[in-house]
Amino acid sequence: MISKQMLKFIGRRLIFLLITYIVATTIVFILPRVIPGNPLNQILSRLSQVAQANPEQIRAAEKTLMEQFAFDKPWYVQYFDFLGNALKGDLGTSVSYYPRKVLDLVIPVLPWTLLLLLPATIVAWFLGNSLGALAAYRRNSWIDKGVLTTSLIVSQIPYYWLGMIFIFFFGVKLGILPVGGAYSQGSFPNWSWSFVLDVLKHYILPFASIVVSAMGGWAIGMRLMVIYELGNDYVRFSEALGMNDKRIYKYVFRNSLLPQITGLALSLGGALGGALITEIIFNYPGTGFLLFRALTSLDYPLIQGIFVILIASIYLANFIVDFIYAVIDPRIRLGQEE
């Protein structure tokens, strides 16, 4: 069932993603060493301001930083050390949460981000595309004009601002939904029904913020794709053969959806950025929240670690989407000769 072409396609994407990942991590790594003004000094002065409590802690942190950022060794040695450690699962030690390790800090929060980002993006993708297709089928009707105008506006609303509005309206004014957090204060994560329901209640608003806003963008794009697709020869031929409209729309929808899958992959990076900031607005304990803390305290090892993991996740997701695309589109799966 798997053609040579499909393997070539997958193989090429894999190599591309690997190279891009290496480039990205190199950039992440090189940046602090390249930016003018020694960030190390900043961190240290920051730490001495912030950590009023423990001078010992500062010294320990200093030591860790020196080790991790090993400014005494040439940068490529540092880089390979870093890579080597990363492969072993050691992304360094956090400075602001010293002595906890970066990986141990990121792993617990990553699922919350994925729980928010992935379902929201996929639902937005599907709903938005369906709406866009509907608008295109009923070109120039009030449905079309309505969908287009609304989408043009809504697609430009930042997720986080929509979140603010939702919190204000539903949380503060109406008081029917929680104003933040992933679960009620004081409860501990467990698998009981009450906890799950609690999480869901807290999930609705951040989820909705992402879905409503992202939907707009997909609707606009899909509408264009379908309009274009409706002008294709097979539509005219199928009509002339007496094929009914419902079936033809299914054809058009299916063919227009394929490039949207690629679009989904490309949009993940941007969606992630928006989701991270939305987390901050909602005090949602995900990676975004952790990143925010890391940024404010200039905890560079943590920042670096978060980025490395996030970028890897994006590329992994990209690859999965590409794979799905290769399987779904018969032209790639079976290898188009032309």
Partner 1 sequence: MSESLVKIENIRAYYKLKNREVKAVDNVSFEIMENEIIGVVGESGCGKSTLSNVLLNNIIKPLTIVGGRVLFKSNGEYVEISSLTREEVRERFWGKEMSLIPQSAMNALMPTIKLSKYVEHLAQSHGIPKNELLKKARKRFEDVDLDPQWLNRYPFELSGGMRQRAVIAIATLLNPQLLIADEPTSALDVVNQKVFLKILLEMKRQGIVKSIIFVTHDIATIRQIADRMLVMYAGKIMEISPVDKIVEKPLNPYTEGLLNSVLTPEPEIKKRGITTIPGTPPNLIEPPSGCRFHPRCPKAMSVCKEKEPKLVEIEPQRKVACFLYSEERA
Partner 2 sequence: MFKNMFKPLFKSKKFIIGLSIVLFFILLGIFGPMIYRVDPTEMTWDMEQAPSSTHPLGTDTYGRDILAQLLYGIRSSLYVGFLAALISLVIGTIVGTFSAVRRGITDDLLMSFTNIVLTTPSILIAILIASYLDVRSIEMIAVILGLFQWPWFARAIRAQLMSVLSREYVYLSKMAGYGDFRLIVEDLIPTIATYAFMSFVLFINGGIMGEASLSLIGLGPTEGISLGTILQWSVMMDAIRRGLWWWFVPPGIAIVAVTASLLIISTAMDEVFNPKLREE
Minimum CB distance to partner 1 smaller for 71 or for 234? 234
Instruction: Report how far residue 264's alpha carbon sits from residue 317's, in angstroms, rounded to the nearest whole number.
Output: 10
Contact call for residue 227 and partner 2 (CB under 8 A): yes
Q: Is there binding between residue 261 and partner 1 (CB under 8 A)? A: no
> Judged by CB under 8 A, does residue 244 bind partner 2?
no
* Nearest 10 degrees: Cα torsion 134, 138, 140, 143: -50
| Residue 224 in contact with partner 2, rule: CB under 8 A | yes
Q: What does 331 bind: partner 2, partner 1, none (CB cut-off 5 to 8 Å by kind)?
A: partner 1
Q: Which of 83, 118, 157, 243 binds partner 2 (CB under 8 A)?
A: 157
- Using CB under 8 A, pick the residue from 5, 10, 14, 20 that binds partner 2: 20
> Binding to partner 1 by residue 57, rule CB under 8 A?
no
Which part of the chain contacts partner 2 (CB under 8 A), choosing from 114-122, 241-249, 256-264, 311-319?
311-319
Among residues 181, 148, 153, which one has the least CA distance to residue 167?
181
How many other C-beta atoms can be found within 10 angstroms of the C-beta atom of residue 18? 12
Under the binding rule (CB under 8 A), the answer on residue 234 touching partner 1 is: yes
**Of these, 3, 14, 16, 177, which contacts partner 2 (CB under 8 A)?**
16
* Nearest approach, Cβ of residue 147 and partner 1 (Å): 22
Residues in Cβ contact with 306 at an 8 Å cutoff, skipping those fewer than 6 apart: 102, 106, 287, 290, 291, 294
Nearest CA-CA partner of 277 in 291, 265, 266: 291
Short-list 120, 125, 144, 139, CA closest to 257: 125
Q: Taking every pair of C-alpha atoms in the chain, what is the biggest distance, in angstroms?
A: 83
Q: Which two tokens stand for residue 282?
A: 């909602």
Q: Interface residues with partner 1 (CB under 8 A)?
A: 232-234, 236-244, 247, 251, 254-255, 258, 329-331, 334, 336-338
